[in-house]
Amino acid sequence: MKKVVSEISGTVFSLPWLIAQDNGLFTDEGIDMEFVRTLPTGDVEHTENPEEVNPVLQHTAFEEAKVSIYRA
Amino acid sequence: MVSQALITRPDSEHNYPGTLGNKSIAVQFHAGSHYVALRLLEGYIPSEKIKLVHYGSPQNRFEAMWNGEVDAALVMEPWISLAEKLGCKTLCEGHYLGAENASDDMDQETFSAINRAVEKAIDMLNENKRKYLHYMIEDPRIADIIKKYGGLTPEDFHLPRLRYIKPTPYSDEIVEDTYNWMTRWGLLNGTACSTDLVENRITASIASD
């Protein structure tokens, strides 16, 4: 089995992935899938300037190589 | 494929996007809500009157709209259905293509295996979308917030809004059009080249299957 860790951000993006996991479809393909759910951003500083916001947003686990795939 | 809707409170004076010039609209910068807001609003109001404010997560944006901190917000499901159930007004909405973002070290065989599993799940989902909406309602990160606002059931969702299609490579035309649109809005450094930014890995996957 190949181990894969995937980020789950908004559920609407990952609905097929959750269905695949709960119905054994990843296992059938030889994939040992693990999900890491990102947490909501919590309080953020409000700004009208996009340059003041880090475009990585909450996808830090991917940037830190703790997950190997995410969708958005 | 995901939809972001521009919503206002039930008692809002705004009934279509054209009156939102210089009015605060909650989005998450550098994400779908940001880009869809620009794409939708530029057809109604001059760019210099589009006033987007970074509020982060969909929950933050929804609550900022509901509490009156902002005049409107861009949200996706299940927040659209929750807003509509509460009587909020959807002024307009737009679908956009999502993307799978894989790390450099993911091999082609693994990526193809994942996609085969996801494609089977998409078939299951499209056969009976309502059956699987509990995943959105019961998401442990937001379930309590949804309950706080009265809760949702699968029957509250507008099913045609939920469009799940199998992984498809971006066409060169889509990449180029999007690149040009982003540089026009100053969202991308004009010295970057679209071919440097996009690796259509799914193309190789399909070709090898």
- Match 């004009």 to its residue by tokens: B190
Give the dihedral sign, CA B162/B6/A39/B145. negative
pLDDT band at B198; cut points 50, 70, 90: low
| B56: chain A residues, CB-CB within 8 Å | 40-44
Q: Edge-to-edge, what's the strand order for the sheet holding B89-96?
A: B51-54, B24-27, B72-75, B2-8, B89-96
- The answer for residues whose C-beta is within 8 angstroms of residue A61's C-beta and 6 or more apart is A7, A36, A38, A67, A70
Among A2, A67, A3, A1, smallest CA distance to A37 is for A67
Nearest Cα of chain A lies from the Cα of B10 at a distance, in angstroms, of 24
Judging contacts by C-beta atoms under 8 Å, the chain A residues touching residue B116 are 29
Task: Kindly state the helix (H) or strand (E) to which residue B158 belongs, with its residue range.
Answer: none
Q: How confident is the model at residue B207 (pLDDT cuts 50, 70, 90)?
A: very low
pLDDT digits (tens, 9 = 90+) for B25-62: 999 999 999 999 999 999 999 999 999 999 999 999 99
User: In the predicted model, is pLDDT for residue B140 greater than 70?
Assistant: yes
The shortest C-alpha distance from B113 to chain A (Å) reads 6
Kindly determine whether residue B114 and residue A69, on different chains, have CB atoms separated by under 8 Å.
yes
Give A-chain residues touching B187 at CB under 8 angstroms: 50
From A29-33, B55-59, B170-174, B187-191, the region with the lowest mean pLDDT: B187-191
Is A37 an interface residue toward B (CB < 8 Å)?
A: yes
Kindly state the average pLDDT of the residues B74-97: 97
pLDDT at res. B136: 96
Per-residue confidence (pLDDT) for residue B208, from 0 to 100 = 46
Q: Residue B209's pLDDT is what?
A: 47
pTM: 0.91
The predicted model gives B86-113 an average pLDDT of 92
Decide the pairing of beta strands B89-96 and B72-75. unpaired
For residue B79, give the DSSP letter.
H
Distance from CA of B175 to the nearest CA of A (A): 16
Residue B93 has pLDDT above 90, yes or no: yes
Reply yes or no: is the peptide bond before residue B167 cis, omega within 30 of 0: no
Q: Does A24 touch chain B (CB under 8 A)?
A: no
DSSP for A1-58 reads -EEEEEEE-SHHHHHHHHHHHHTTHHHHTTEEEEEEEPPP--S----S-GGGS-TTTT
* A 38-67 residues with CB < 8 A to B: 39-48, 50, 52-53, 55, 57-59, 62, 65
Percent of chain B clearing pLDDT 70 (strictly above): 90
CB B103 to CB A68 under 8 A? yes
Domain spans in chain A, listed from the N-terminal domain onward: 1-39+55-72
**Which pLDDT score is estimated for A65?**
76
pLDDT of B196 above 90: no
| pLDDT for res B194 | 61
What is the pLDDT, as a whole number, of residue B145? Answer: 96
For the cut 80, the answer to whether the pLDDT of residue B116 exceeds it is yes
> Which pLDDT band holds residue B162 (cuts at 50, 70, 90)?
very high
Domain architecture of chain B: domains with CATH: 2-96 (3.40.190.10), 108-208 (no CATH)
Looking at residues B145-165, what average pLDDT do you find? 97
Question: Taking residues B83-99, what's their average pLDDT?
Answer: 95
> Which residues of chain B lie closer than 8 angstroms to A19, CB-CB?
121, 124-125, 132, 135
User: Which residues in chain A land under pLDDT 50?
Assistant: none
Q: What type of residue is B98?
A: G
pLDDT at B11 exceeding the cut of 80: yes
